[in-house]
Amino acid sequence: MEPKTADRTQSPSSPSSPSSPSSPSLSSPATPGPLASFVRFVVCGGGIGVLSSFAVPLVAMTMPWAVANAVITVASTLLCTELHALFTFGTGRRPGWRRHLQSSGSAAAAYAVTCAAMFLLHVIQSAPSMLTEQAVYLTASGLAGIGRFLVLRLFVFTSGRKSPLQPRRPVLPLPRPVLTHAAVGATA
């Protein structure tokens, strides 16, 4: 038995019917796989990061640098969360405040990881070279980015998918009792 809802984008004479497995539905967008999501995450996050690095000095012409950096960081985090919800993880809808807060929390955690890595570097070496600083920063940033991707994919933007921490059990229908004429007559 087919569901009573129909895909309104196709006409009844369309060669592919709404019930065919290859036809996409507008109500549930196709969720990209892990590799596609990761590539999209890097492109969106990296692209916004590069644009932000150009925007901070421009905005800093009108206000103190620290304030400009904070403003651009907040704006870029909000924009990235929107892009991640709609494009990277394919939720099909804009994120609410809860997802914005969770995404901001993961960005703050990634920032803390890179700061901690740089602090530890300066504890271990009092005057590291610029090349060493760049290597440590980029490594920490890459690891924090991978961690942030995992948090966003597995916990923040999990719409419609089960959490990886919950076991997946098949749902089996309950058996229905079969009433026979003898059983009905015996109860009357």
The string of pLDDT tens digits covering residues 136-183 is: 988 988 898 899 899 988 888 886 544 454 555 666 666 776 666 665
Does residue 18 surpass a pLDDT of 60?
Answer: no
Tokens of 120: 């530890």
User: pLDDT class for 7, splitting at 50, 70, 90?
Assistant: very low
**pLDDT at residue 8 in the model:** 41
Q: What is the pLDDT of residues 49-87, one digit of tens each?
A: 889 888 888 998 999 988 988 898 889 989 989 988 888
Average pLDDT across the chain, whole number: 77
Contact indicator for 150, 38 with CB cutoff of 8 Å: no
User: pLDDT class for 122, splitting at 50, 70, 90?
Assistant: very high
- Statement: the pTM of the whole predicted model exceeds 0.85: no
Contact indicator for 45, 73 with CB cutoff of 8 Å: no
**pLDDT at residue 185 in the model:** 60
Average pLDDT over residues 1-14: 43
Does residue 125 surpass a pLDDT of 90?
Answer: yes
**pLDDT at residue 61 in the model:** 92
**pLDDT at residue 12 in the model:** 42
